[in-house]
């Protein structure tokens, strides 16, 4: 029937930089528009892949302002002209990239200008796709997760939702909360009250390491057993 290449989403995942942050390129094969998430480093490699797919970047998003997720923002912004967006509650972190760089012994990248601040409930649209912004604080104050609902016109039912979880939820683990602005109570609330409300089959793309699913983490993630004293 339809051209098999016409419907399928393009999703490239490249671990970049010293800390191997998973950068995602999510493209619409029809309109050739793309969203780039967490270009933490290696902008040249990301740009090469965009060129290979002939994609135009509509927005560049960081799930949070840790240096391994924002290091390539400026180069990506300069090369593509696309707006850089992140949650406002991480702007303090972003303004102190030099301090973050010093902690891990690297040079601070030049900051990008942040074009728009995201909030809970915002929607990013590109091509035929959209991502809902969920504010999921705890790893940092302004950590977000991006949810791409399954396409409505998917007759075969083969496609499922995708969650780009940043450093909030990992396969078998959760983000660390001992860095500046972190809170264990908040991250658990974010995961239980937002992420775990998604369908079990939702594929989770964490900020580092392996892909997982909401169902898998709900069943097996040892960090998500609710403490008996949980207040909410």
Please pick, from the candidates 58, 66, 75, 87, the single residue that binds Zn ion as defined by CB under 5 A.
66
Q: Which of residues 141-180 bind Zn ion (CB under 5 A)?
A: 167
Please pick, from the candidates 68, 89, 90, 217, the single residue that binds Zn ion as defined by CB under 5 A.
68
DSSP line for 1-56: ---HHHHSPEEEEEEETTTTEEEEEEE-TTT-EEEEE---S-HHHHHHHHHHTT-E
87 lies in the site for Zn ion, by CB under 5 A:
no
Of 110, 68, 109, 59, nearest to 86 by C-alpha is 59
90 lies in the site for Zn ion, by CB under 5 A:
no
Shortest approach of Zn ion to residue 129 CB, angstroms? 24
Nearer to Zn ion, 55 or 84 (CB): 84
Shortest approach of Zn ion to residue 182 CB, angstroms? 9
Which residues have a Cβ under 8 Å from the Cβ of 162 and sit 6 or more positions away? 11, 26, 147, 148, 202, 203, 205
206 lies in the site for Zn ion, by CB under 5 A:
no
89 lies in the site for Zn ion, by CB under 5 A:
no
Shortest approach of Zn ion to residue 131 CB, angstroms? 19
Contact at 8 Å (CB) between 190 and 182? no
CA atoms within 13 A of residue 113's CA, in its CB half-sphere: 5
Shortest approach of Zn ion to residue 69 CB, angstroms? 5
Applying CB under 5 A, the residues found at the interface with Zn ion are 66, 68, 167, 207
């Amino acid at each position: 029937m339809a051209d098999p290449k016409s419907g399928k989403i393009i999703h490239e995942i490249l671990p970049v930089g010293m800390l191997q942050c998973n950068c995602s390129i999510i493209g619409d094969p029809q309109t050739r528009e793309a969203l780039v998430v967490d270009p933490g480093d290696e902008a040249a490699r990301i740009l090469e892949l965009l060129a290979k797919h002939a994609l135009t970047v509509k927005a560049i998003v960081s799930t949070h302002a840790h240096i391994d997720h924002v290091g390539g923002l400026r180069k990506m912004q300069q090369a593509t002209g696309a707006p850089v967006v992140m949650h406002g509650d991480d702007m303090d972190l972003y303004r102190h990239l030099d301090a973050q760089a010093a902690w891990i012994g690297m040079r601070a990248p030049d900051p990008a200008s942040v074009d728009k601040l995201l909030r809970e409930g915002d929607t990013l649209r590109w091509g035929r796709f959209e991502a809902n912004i969920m504010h999921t604080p705890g790893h940092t104050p302004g950590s977000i997760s991006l949810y791409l609902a399954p396409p409505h016109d998917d007759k075969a039912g083969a496609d499922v939702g995708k969650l780009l979880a940043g450093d909030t939820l990992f396969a078998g683990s959760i983000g660390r909360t001992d860095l500046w602005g972190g809170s264990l109570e908040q991250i658990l609330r974010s995961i239980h009250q937002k992420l775990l409300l998604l369908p079990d089959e939702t594929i989770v793309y964490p900020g580092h390491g392996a892909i997982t699913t909401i169902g898998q983490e709900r069943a097996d993630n040892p960090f998500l057993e609710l403490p008996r004293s949980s207040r909410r």
